[in-house]
Amino acid sequence: MSKITDHINQLREDFMKGSLNEVDIHKDPFTQFEIWLQQAIQSEMPEVQAMNLSTISDNKPSSRIVYLRRLNNHKFWFYGNYDSKKGKSLEENPNASLNFFWPELQRQIRIEGTVKKATKVNSDNYFNSRPLESQLGAWASAQSNKLSSRKKLENKLTELKKQFKGKEVPRPEHWGGWVLTANYYEFWQGRKSRLHDRLIYELKDKNWEISRLAP
C-alpha cells in the first residue's frame, strides 16, 4: 500500500493547455457550457456526457456518475430508477450538483441547481429510444437494493426476454428522467503552478453575475 501512496504522491501535472478570462467568456453560462461541451466533443475524448451527480439525504452526501442526455436553456436531463438511492435522495432533497471533468482539456464545470422529475412524455420518449437490452435492464434491476447473487439478476433478464419477445417494452413506472435547473455555474481551467482560473456565475434577481474565485 505504501508503494501505491508513494506513486500517487509523485503524480504531477502542470496545467498549461489554456486560460479563462472574464473578457473571453459568454455572459450567459448556458451558452458558455455549450461552447466548452462542443470543444470537448471536437477533441474526441471519451464519455464527454459523463457527469458526477451529487445529492444529499439525511445530511449525508452521495455521488455517482450519470449521463447527460438532454440540455436546453439551463436545464440538464438524466435518467434512471426512481426507487434507487439517487431517486430517494432527490425526492427528499431536490438540491443537487453536477460536475463535468474533461482532463484532456484540463477543465471542470460544476453546476448547481434544483431537480424535479421529467414529464412522463419525455421519459417515455427517451425510454423508447433506448436499445432493447437497456429497456429490459430497467425492468430487471431493483437498483440500489441488495441482490443475493448475479445469477438471480441474469435469470430475471432471461424471463423478461421471453415475456416481451416480439412485443414493445413499456417504460416501467419506477424508471424515468430528472431535470436539473441551474442556478450556479463554475468554470475551472487548469493553470500553471496550481494558480487555476475559476469563474462563477450566480443567478441573482434573474440576472447572471460573474465573479472570479481564488484557486
| Domain definitions of the chain by residue range | 13-128+168-212
Question: Which three three-digit cell numbers place residue 140?
Answer: 430487471
- Residue from 70, 171, 191, 194 carrying the catalytic annotation: 194
Give pLDDT, residue 11.
67
Whether pLDDT at 71 is above 90: yes
Helix (H, G, I), strand (E, B) or coil at 59: coil
| Distance from C-alpha of 86 to C-alpha of 112, rounded to nearest angstrom | 16
Give pLDDT, residue 99.
98
**CA-angle at 146, arms to 140 and 150, nearest 5°:** 55
Is residue 86 a contact partner of residue 62, using CB atoms and an 8 Å limit?
yes
For the chain, the first-to-last Cα distance in angstroms comes to 31
Give pLDDT, residue 7.
79
Q: Are strands 70-72 and 197-204 parallel, antiparallel or unpaired?
A: unpaired
Give pLDDT, residue 17.
78
**pTM for this one?**
0.93
**13-128+168-212 in CATH: which number?**
2.30.110.10
Is residue 115 a contact partner of residue 70, using CB atoms and an 8 Å limit?
no
Q: For 74-98, how does the pLDDT look when each residue is reduced to its tens digit (9 = 90+)? A: 999 999 999 999 999 999 999 999 9
C-alpha dihedral (145, 151, 156, 160), degrees to nearest 10: 130
Give pLDDT, residue 1.
66
Give pLDDT, residue 32.
98
Helical residues (DSSP H) of 62-191, grouped into ranges: 85-92, 120-129, 132-140, 150-163
Whether pLDDT at 2 is above 90: no
Q: Which helix (H) or strand (E) holds 180?
A: strand 175-189
Residues 6+ apart with CB under 8 A from 29: 74, 182, 185, 187, 201, 208
| Distance from C-alpha of 129 to C-alpha of 47, rounded to nearest angstrom | 19
Q: For 109-125, how does the pLDDT look when each residue is reduced to its tens digit (9 = 90+)? A: 999 999 999 999 999 99
What's at 179, amino acid-wise?
V
198 is catalytic: no
- As a whole number, mean pLDDT of residues 122-147 equals 95
Q: For 149-205, how does the pLDDT look when each residue is reduced to its tens digit (9 = 90+)? A: 999 999 999 999 999 999 999 999 999 999 999 999 999 999 999 899 999 999 999
Q: For 3-57, how does the pLDDT look when each residue is reduced to its tens digit (9 = 90+)? A: 887 776 776 677 777 889 999 899 999 999 999 999 999 999 999 999 999 999 9
| Distance from C-alpha of 188 to C-alpha of 185, rounded to nearest angstrom | 10
